Structure 1
Amino acid sequence: MAGPAGRMMAGGGPDQRSTDFKASGRRLLAQLAPERLTLWPMLLAGALGVALSVVGPLILGRATDLVFAGVVGRQTPAGVSKDQVVAGLRAEGDGGLADMLSGVAFTPGQGIDFAAVGRVLLLALAVYAGAGLLMLVSSRLSIRVINRTVFRLREAVQHKLEKLPLAYFDRAKRGEVLSRATNDIDNIAQTMQQTMGQLVNSLLTIVGVLVMMFYVSPLLALVALVTVPLSVVVATRVGKRSQPHFVQQWRATGTLNGHVEEAYTGHALVKVFGRGGEAAEEFREQNEELYEASYRAQFNSGIMHPLMMFISNLNYVLVAVVGGLRVASGALSIGDVQAFIQYSRQFSMPLTQVASMANLVQSGVASAERVFELLDAEEQSPDGAGGKAPEEEPAGGGRVVLEHVAFRYDPERPLIEDLSLAVEPGQTVAIVGPTGAGKTTLVNLLMRFYEVTGGRILLDGADIASMRREELRARIGMVLQDTWLFGGTIAENIAYGAPAGREVTRAEIEEAAKAAHADRFVRTLPDGYDTVVDDEGAGVSAGEKQLVTIARAFLSDPRILILDEATSSVDTRTEVLIQKAMARLAHGRTSFVIAHRLSTIRDADVILVMEDGAIVEQGSHRELLAAGGAYARLYAAQFAQAVAEVD
Structure 2
Amino acid sequence: MIKIFKNLRSQEWALIALVMVFIVLQVWLDLTMPDYMADITRMVQTDGSTMSEMLTAGGKMLLCALGSLLAAVLTAVCAAKIATGFAAVLRGKLFAKVQSFSMEEIGHFSTASLITRSTNDVTQIQMLLVMGLQMLVKAPIMAVWAILKIADKQWQWTLTTAAAVVILLIVVGVCLVLVTPKFKKIQSLTDDLNRVTRENLTGLSVVRAYNAEGYQEEKFENANEALTGTNLFAQRTMAFMMPSIQLVMSGLMLAIYWIGAILINDAGMSGKISLFSDMMVFSQYAIQVVMAFMMLVMIFMILPRASVAANRICEVLDTKPSILDGTESEGKAGETGEIEFSNVSFRYPDAEECVLENISFTAKKGETVALIGSTGCGKSTVINLIPRFYDATQGEVLVDGRNVKEYKQEELRNKIGYISQKATLFTGNIRSNIAYGENGKADPSDEEIDEALNIAQAEEFIKSLEDGKDAYVAQNGSNFSGGQKQRLSIARAIARKPEILIFDDSFSALDYRTDKVLRKTLDEKCKDITRIIVAQRIGTIRDADKIIVLEDGKISGMGRHEDLMRDCDVYQKIALSQLSKEELA
2:510 to 563, 570, 584: 570
Matched, 1:364 2:306: yes
Aligned to 1:44: 21
**Partner residue in 1 for 2:332:** 391
Distance 2:41 2:253 in 1: 20
Structure 2 counterpart of 1:256, from 172, 189, 193: 193
Is the alpha carbon distance of 1:28 and 1:307 closer, same or farther for their aligned partners in structure 2, counting shifts above 3 Å? farther
Structure 1 position 402 matched with structure 2 position 378: no
Letter in 1 for 2:336: G
What amino acid does structure 2 have at the position aligned with 1:554?
I
The within-5 A match list for 1:141-540 is 141-328=78-265, 329=267, 330=271, 332-385=274-327, 387=328, 389-393=330-334, 397-409=336-348, 410-496=350-436, 499=439, 502-540=442-480
SS at match of 1:412: coil
Give, in whole Å, the separation in 1 of the partners of 2:330 and 2:448. Answer: 29
Contact 1:498/1:504 (<8 A) preserved? no
Could you list the per-position Cα deviations for residues 446-490 of structure 1 after superposition, in whole angstroms to 9, with x for gaps in the alignment? Answer: 111101111112222211111011100110111122000111011
Pair 1:27-2:3 in alignment: yes
CA gap 1:459/1:235 in 2 versus in 1, 3 angstroms: same
Kindly state the Cα deviation for residue 640 of structure 1 after the two structures are TM-superposed: 5.6
Deviation at 1:219, TM superposition (A): 4.3
2:186, 2:493 → 1: CA distance?
44
- Worse-superposed segment, 196-205 or 492-501: 492-501
Tell me if the contact between 2:556 and 2:568 (Cα under 8 Å) persists in the aligned partners.
no
1:350 to partner: Cα distance: 1.8
Mark the CA change 1:316 to 1:529 in structure 2 (over 3 Å): closer, same or farther: same
What's the secondary structure of 1:591's corresponding residue?
A: strand
Q: Could you tell me how far apart the structure 2 residues matched to 1:29 and 1:314 are?
A: 39
Structure 2 residue matching 1:446: 3-state secondary structure = coil
1:364 alignment partner, SS class: helix
CA–CA separation in structure 1 for the residues paired with 2:284 and 2:199 = 57
| Map 1:56-135 → 2, pairs under 5 A | 56-69=33-46, 73=47, 110=48, 112-135=49-72
SS in 1 for 2:426: coil
Bigger-Rg structure (1/2): 1
Inter-CA distance 536–457: structure 2 relative to 1 (3 Å threshold)? closer
Mapping for residues 495-644 of structure 1, pairs under 5 Å: 495-496=435-436, 499=439, 502-639=442-579
TM-score, normalising length: structure 2: 0.93
Q: Distance in 2 between matches of 1:172 and 1:642?
A: 52
Asked if the contact 2:182/2:234 (under 8 Å) is kept, the reply is yes
Does the Cα contact within 8 Å between 1:246 and 1:362 map onto a contact in 2?
Answer: yes
Q: 1:500 to 1:124 in 2, by over 3 A?
A: farther
Would the aligned equivalents of 2:444 and 2:496 in 1 still touch at CA under 8 Å?
no
Classify 1:336/1:609 alpha carbon distance in 2 versus 1 (closer, same or farther; 3 Å).
same
Structure 1 unaligned residues grouped into runs of 5+: 1-24, 74-109
Deviations 1:98-126 (A, max 9, x none): xxxxxxxxxxxx4x411111221222223
Residue deviations 1:292-320 (CA, integer Å, cap 9, x gap): 01111101111011111111111111111
CA distance in 2, matches of 1:598, 1:553: 23
**Matched-pair contact (CA < 8 Å) for 2:19–2:133:** no
CA shift, 1:538, in A, is 2.5
2:447 aligned counterpart, secondary structure: helix
Residues 1:126 and 1:494: Cα distance change in structure 2 (over 3 Å) = same
CA drift at 1:31: 4.4
Instruction: Determine the C-alpha separation between the residues in 2 that align with 1:573 and 1:601.
Output: 14
Comparing 126-135 and 617-626, the one that deviates more: 126-135
Change (3 A) 1:373 1:628: closer
The answer to whether the 8 Å contact 2:550/2:556 transfers is yes
SS of equivalent residue, structure 1 residue 420: strand
What SS does the aligned partner of 2:23 have? helix
- Counterpart of 1:55 in structure 2 is 32
Q: Which moved more, 1:367-376 or 1:564-573?
A: 367-376
Please say which of residues 412-421 and 541-550 is displaced more in the overlay.
412-421
Question: Aligned equivalents of 2:23 and 2:514: distance in 1?
Answer: 71
Alignment RMSD:
2.2
Q: What one-letter code is carried by the residue in structure 1 that aligns with 2:332?
A: E
Secondary structure at 1:357 match in 2: helix
Contact 1:327–1:337 (Cα < 8 Å) also in 2: no
Structure 2 SS opposite 1:567: coil
Deviation digits for residues 497-535 of structure 1 (CA, Å, limit 9, x no counterpart): 562563333332222212211111112223222111222
Q: Which moved more, 1:299-308 or 1:581-590?
A: 581-590
Moved more, 579-588 or 494-503: 494-503
Q: CA 1:255–1:350 in 2, change beyond 3 Å: closer, same or farther? A: same
1:206–1:375 Cα change, 3 Å = same
1-side partners of 2:501 and 2:489: how far apart? 13
- Whole-Å separation in 2 of the counterparts to 1:628 and 1:617: 6
Decide which moves more: 233-242 or 492-501. 492-501
1:152–1:265 CA distance, 2 compared to 1 (3 A): same
> Structure 1 451/392 Cα, relative in aligned 2: closer, same or farther at 3 Å?
same
CA distance in 1, matches of 2:316, 2:216: 27
User: How many residues are matched?
Assistant: 576
Q: Deviations over 1:432-452 (max 9, x none)?
A: 111121111111111111011
Q: CA 1:241/1:497 → structure 2, altered by over 3 Å: closer, same or farther?
A: closer
TM-score norm. by structure 1 comes to: 0.85
Cα 1:628–1:469, aligned 2, differ >3 Å: closer, same or farther? closer
- Secondary structure, aligned partner of 1:450: coil
- For 1:642 and 1:145, how far apart are their aligned partners in 2? 75
CA contact (8 A) 2:98 2:106 kept: no
List alignment gaps of at least 5 residues for structure 2: none
* Cα separation, 2, equivalents of 1:392 and 1:525: 45
SS of 1:226 mapped into structure 2: helix
Q: Distance in 2 between matches of 1:570 and 1:411?
A: 34
In structure 2, how many angstroms separate the alpha carbons of the residues matched to 1:311 and 1:498? 64
Q: 1:32 to 1:219 in 2, by over 3 A?
A: farther
Maintained 8 Å contact 2:146/2:289:
yes
